[in-house]
């Protein structure tokens, strides 16, 4: 088959680019190996009706040859030019069923004129038809078109599925190149339809916008296509800010572009993957319809994936910020444990004096201050208060010290439109309030605070009762992942 392609290419004949594997070419319309035991029992086992047809008045060599041709067309989907060019194991299996000694039977059958007559009889008896039949090709092409349009099957896979369809529907296999060209035409027609559907509603301004993705600016080294398809690689606040800017840029590019919702997602994804992997120069060399369709599929697909990148990275970064704050708080407590122990020992001794029933209540304060001066005792109380915390209280001080790491929050809330169920409405109101601050809008009325957890309330209000924006921002994203979704 490879030799035929070389000759036809040399003479200028046009054949489709080959997509078949060597194994597919080797096995097509011929016995490449001995059939397995399961294949023999499935294709070469003859029931009573088959035997009645095979055993009609014929000689032993004709019965054996007819049975072999019947099994061959069931197994291969075609008749062989030399019907005796078959595996010996299969011949013995058929001969045993018919109780025929093989001997020189196949040589006799090869020279018999019935080798040409039997295929006609088998076709008439068992309902086999030719591929050239117009209705057969129409049904096969429609079936393959639907598979390719809605799936991601490679052409070599479509080829195998076409063979299966032909076998099931008792259609004799055509020449290898005929079926290969048919699949190539179906793929070309489906691809052309997809490109037309994607580009049908693109305006001139949008065409210019999409083509600009392939142009390397004078002050840069990368085209916008190369830059946008590189997602975040680090887990840091700076990388999250870059991911937010990238998502915002993709949103601006996608604004007003035709929707892809009514097109097969798998086919659109194939175009988008090509744009994500190929060089910008390779995309630029594509025909107009295919180039614009590829860029549109890329932007629309990137619109969703870049948002996922932002949210996934946000979850990781915020979790790390809280974990770091907790870690810093624990280290600070370990460093201050000695002072805490000293103060706690003094307060413990005071407690023992209070519990001593031998000391009268009226003399208790005098006894305590004689043992511990007032200033020393006040210092111990202050030290214990500053160093001790309940288990359910976050390390607010350490978290506030890392407020610069939350600089991505306002851009995030400005770019992404969140929604919420009924239970998340108070938090959604707070998000809108922060978004207004980020956009420089004047906010009317008090800030929504009903979403604030009890343990965080003291951080949201300053000593004078005014809003502490640092605490407000830190409290808002803490629940955003649980209640809100874009």
Pair 191, 210 in one domain: no
Contact partners, residue 342, CB within 8 Å, separation at least 6: 380, 383
- Domain edge (last residue) among 347, 374, 407: 407
pLDDT on residue 76: 94
Cβ count within 10 A of residue 140:
20
Same domain, 252 and 359: yes
- Average pLDDT for runs of 10 along the chain of length 486: 40 55 90 92 93 84 93 95 92 92 86 91 93 89 93 87 95 93 93 94 94 87 90 88 92 92 91 91 93 95 92 88 77 70 80 80 80 82 71 63 77 82 84 80 79 77 76 59 41
pLDDT at 234: 86
Please state the domain count of the chain: 4
Asked whether residue 358 falls in the same domain as residue 446, the answer is no
Residue 2 falls within a domain, yes or no?
Answer: no
Same domain, 223 and 106: no
Residue 18 within any structural domain of the chain? no
Q: Which residues, including other chains, have CB under 8 Å from residue 65's CB and lie 6 or more apart?
A: 83, 84, 105, 106, 109, 112, 114, 115, 118
Please indicate, yes or no, whether residues 310 and 341 belong to a single structural domain of this protein. yes
44-52: list long-range contacts, CB under 8 Å, 24+ apart: 44/71, 44/74, 44/75, 44/90, 44/93, 44/94, 44/97, 45/97, 46/70, 46/71, 46/97, 46/98, 51/98
**305 within some domain:** yes
- What's the pLDDT at 13? 39
Query: 267 and 212: one domain?
Result: yes
- Give the angle 420-424-430 at the CA atoms, nearest 5°: 95
Q: Would you state the pLDDT for residue 456?
A: 77
Write down the H helix ranges in 57-154: 60-76, 88-98, 105-110, 114-126, 134-150
Among residues 66, 91, 126, the one where a domain terminates is 126
Asked if 380 and 285 sit in the same domain, the reply is yes
Give domain status of residue 17, yes or no: no
- Structure confidence at residue 247 (pLDDT): 93
| Same-domain status, 376 and 293 | yes
Distance of alpha carbon 225 from alpha carbon 216, whole angstroms: 9
Burial of 187 (0-12, 13-18, 19+ CB in 10 A): buried
pLDDT of residue 57: 63
Structure confidence at residue 1 (pLDDT):
43
CB 291 within 8 A of CB 284: yes
In this prediction, residue 476 carries a pLDDT of 61
119 and 155, same structural domain? Answer: no
**Cα–Cα distance, 83 to 30 (Å, whole number):** 10
Q: How far is CA 183 from CA 1, 7, 191, 196, 263, in A?
A: 17, 22, 12, 20, 21
Residue 8 belongs to some domain of the structure = no
Task: Mark which of 348, 377, 407 sits at the end of a domain.
Answer: 407
Note whether 379 and 267 are same-domain residues: yes
Flag whether 458 is in a domain. Answer: yes
On whether both 363 and 465 belong to a single domain, the answer is no
Same domain assignment for residues 250 and 373? yes
Domain housing 364: 204-407
pLDDT for 59: 85
């Amino acid at each position: 088959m490879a030799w035929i392609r070389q000759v036809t290419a040399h003479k200028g004949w046009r054949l489709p680019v080959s997509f078949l594997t060597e194994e597919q070419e080797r096995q097509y319309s011929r016995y490449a190996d001995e059939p397995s035991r399961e294949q023999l029992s499935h294709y070469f086992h003859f029931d009573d009706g088959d035997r009645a047809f095979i055993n009609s008045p014929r000689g032993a060599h004709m019965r054996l040859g007819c049975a072999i041709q019947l099994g061959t067309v069931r197994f291969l989907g075609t008749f062989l030019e030399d019907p005796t060019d078959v595996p010996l194991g299969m011949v013995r299996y058929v001969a045993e069923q018919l109780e025929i000694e093989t001997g020189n039977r196949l040589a006799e059958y090869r020279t018999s004129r019935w080798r040409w007559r039997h295929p006609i009889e088998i076709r008439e008896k068992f309902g086999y038809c030719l591929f050239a039949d117009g209705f057969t090709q129409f049904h096969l092409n429609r079936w393959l078109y639907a598979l390719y349009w809605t799936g991601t099957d490679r052409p070599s896979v479509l080829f195998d599925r076409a063979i299966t369809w032909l076998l099931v529907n008792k259609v004799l296999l055509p020449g290898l190149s005929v079926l290969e060209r048919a699949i190539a035409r179906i793929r070309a027609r489906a691809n052309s339809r997809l490109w037309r559907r994607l580009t049908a509603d693109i305006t001139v301004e949008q065409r210019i916008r999409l083509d600009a993705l392939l142009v390397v600016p004078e002050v840069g080294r990368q085209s916008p296509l190369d830059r946008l398809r590189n997602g975040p690689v680090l887990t840091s606040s700076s990388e999250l800010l870059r991911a937010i800017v990238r998502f915002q840029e993709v949103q601006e590019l996608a604004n007003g572009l035709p929707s892809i919702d009514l097109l097969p997602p798998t086919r659109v994804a194939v175009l988008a993957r090509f744009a994500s992997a190929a060089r910008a120069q390779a995309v630029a060399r594509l025909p107009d319809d295919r180039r614009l369709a590829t860029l549109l599929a890329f932007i629309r697909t990137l619109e969703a994936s870049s948002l996922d990148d932002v949210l996934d990275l946000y979850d990781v970064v915020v979790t790390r910020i809280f974990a770091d704050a907790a870690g810093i708080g624990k280290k600070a407590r370990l460093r201050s444990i000695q002072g805490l122990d000293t103060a706690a020992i003094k307060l413990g001794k005071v407690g023992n004096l209070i519990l001593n029933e031998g000391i009268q209540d009226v003399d208790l304060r005098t006894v305590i201050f004689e043992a511990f001066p007032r200033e020393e005792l006040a210092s111990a109380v202050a030290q214990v208060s500053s160093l001790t915390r309940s288990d359910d209280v976050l390390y607010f001080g350490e978290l506030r010290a890392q407020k610069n790491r939350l600089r991505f929050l306002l851009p995030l809330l400005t770019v992404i439109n969140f929604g919420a169920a009924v239970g998340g409405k108070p938090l959604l109101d707070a998000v809108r309030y922060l978004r207004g601050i980020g956009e420089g809008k004047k906010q009317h009325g008090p800030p929504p605070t009903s979403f604030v957890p009890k343990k965080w309330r003291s951080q949201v209000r300053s000593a004078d009762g005014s809003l502490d924006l640092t605490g407000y921002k830190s409290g808002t994203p803490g629940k955003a992942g649980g209640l809100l979704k874009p």
